[in-house]
Amino acid sequence: MGSILFRHVNLSDGRNGVDVLIDGDRIAAIGPGLAAPEGAELVQGDGLLLAPPFVDAHFHLDATLSYGLPRVNQSGTLLEGIALWGELKPQLAQEALVERALQYCDWAVARGLLAIRSHVDVCDERLLAVEALLHVRQKVRPYLDLQLVAFPQDGLLRSPKALANLKRALDLGVDVVGGIPHFERTMAEGAESVRLLCELAAERGLPVDMHCDESDDPLSRHIETLAFHTQRLGMQGRVTGSHLTSMHSMDNYYASKLIPLIAEAQVHAVANPLINITLQGRHDSYPKRRGMTRVPELMAAGVNVGFGHDCVMDPWYALGSADMLEVAQMGLHVAQMTSQAQMRACFDAVTVNSARILGLADYGIEVGRPADMVLLQASSPVEAIRLRATRLMVVRRGAVLSRTPPAIAHVQLPGRPETVDWALQRAAPPTRASR
Ligand SMILES: [Zn+2]
């Protein structure tokens, strides 16, 4: 492994026109006009964006790329998706599951997505998916950080052996305690599942990440209980509420009490924009609710909010390609986060905020940190979202894992330029970014 010098790049935190030097697996220097060491690969950035890798705070690697198996979701609802997953589960073969997960990780790396928190269903006596994803976690370790959440899809208390299986999954090395309180039989059982799971996590010193209130029911308030137990057990900063879609439909007065409680308990929030906008509001006629949680309001209150992809080509969602910029773009639109600062915040939601949720140490482009980064065919985070920019280079621990040629159309129009790259203005064409 040698060294790479990026000349004149913009960083996603606003430092513009700097050089970044990678030496071995670390970032050796950041500053203007750095000298190129002997034999270094020189990359002329010309104002392109060099960002830390994308991070997906919420995914389901056990179900991904299974679209159409054993049939497609006709209604497109969350509940038919869960039923469909129940049909597929007994038919799952470990080898095929591993292969699909590995293929998705290939897609992820090529998109500069180098850290994923994946829930894994533990409501299967065989724990087949758990074993498969533990194997995948080991296999991808050199190029992708995979974190696994023990997820009782059929309900911790509703499904007879879920608690025992969840504990077995943790014993096998699954990293995070999951849950699904809104899917338990009653509100009281949902609250009880939150208490049990938080206590289990506290006992074992593990983080918590629950599917919480993924519902349009404004009275689904398990996030309140999750924040309460987080604080009671001293787990501030280690607990995440995923989805929180019921907050979209809640009474504003109650939300004004709830959001400060979430902030006080330092519970992280994850929205899954592509999935929330397609799965929620399904019982509505018109007007149809969007269903996504209150992202700008949570952020304004100081809550750390990440975005997840949640699903790609599985029982719940037929689309997707591991593109966290697509996720950020949908989040921006659904939440109407259109100011410059809010658009940048949507970029943070798929990078630095989600890295905090995963607890990734040493994340970010700083001297001395691991050389993990993505060179994008865009000049800023906002332009990256607008263009869903091409990942020109993906680097991990100083090694180039992926290169994609710049997106440039060659056009033949009378009296017009010969190429189009959709950039409003740039000092030089992006072709110079490749070596
Ligand atoms: Zn999920």
Task: Give 14-17 contacts, CB < 8 A, sequence gap 24+.
Answer: 16/47, 17/47
CA of 412 to the centre of ligand 1 (A): 46
CA of 44 to the centre of ligand 1 (A): 40
| Catalytic residue ranges | 214
Per-residue tens of pLDDT for the chain, all 435 residues: 689 999 999 999 999 999 999 999 999 999 999 999 999 999 999 999 999 999 999 999 999 999 988 899 998 888 899 899 889 888 888 999 999 999 999 999 999 999 999 999 999 899 999 999 999 999 999 999 999 999 999 999 999 999 999 999 999 999 999 999 999 999 999 999 999 999 999 999 999 999 999 999 999 999 999 999 999 999 999 999 999 999 999 999 999 999 999 999 999 999 999 999 999 999 999 999 999 999 999 999 999 999 999 999 999 999 999 999 999 999 999 999 999 999 999 999 999 999 999 999 999 999 999 999 999 999 999 999 999 999 999 999 999 999 999 999 999 999 999 999 999 855 555 554 444
**What count of residues does the chain have?**
435
Residue ranges covered by each domain of the chain: 3-52+364-409, 54-358
CA of 66 to the centre of ligand 1 (A): 15
Tokens of 272: 């899954």
Which spans in 265-301 are helix H? 273-279, 295-300
Would strands 49-51 and 3-11 be described as parallel, antiparallel, or unpaired?
parallel
Q: Which residues pair with 240 in a beta bridge?
A: 209, 268
Query: What CATH architecture does domain 54-358 belong to?
Result: Alpha-Beta Barrel (3.20)
Pick the CATH number of 3-52+364-409 from 2.30.40.10, 1.10.3720.10, 1.10.240.10, 3.40.50.2300: 2.30.40.10
CB neighbours (10 Å) of residue 389?
A: 27
Element (H, E) at 59: strand 54-59
Yes or no: say if 55 and 358 are a contact pair by the CB < 8 Å rule.
Answer: yes
Tokens of 187: 């509100």
CA of 175 to the centre of ligand 1 (A): 16
CA of 79 to the centre of ligand 1 (A): 13
CA of 372 to the centre of ligand 1 (A): 26
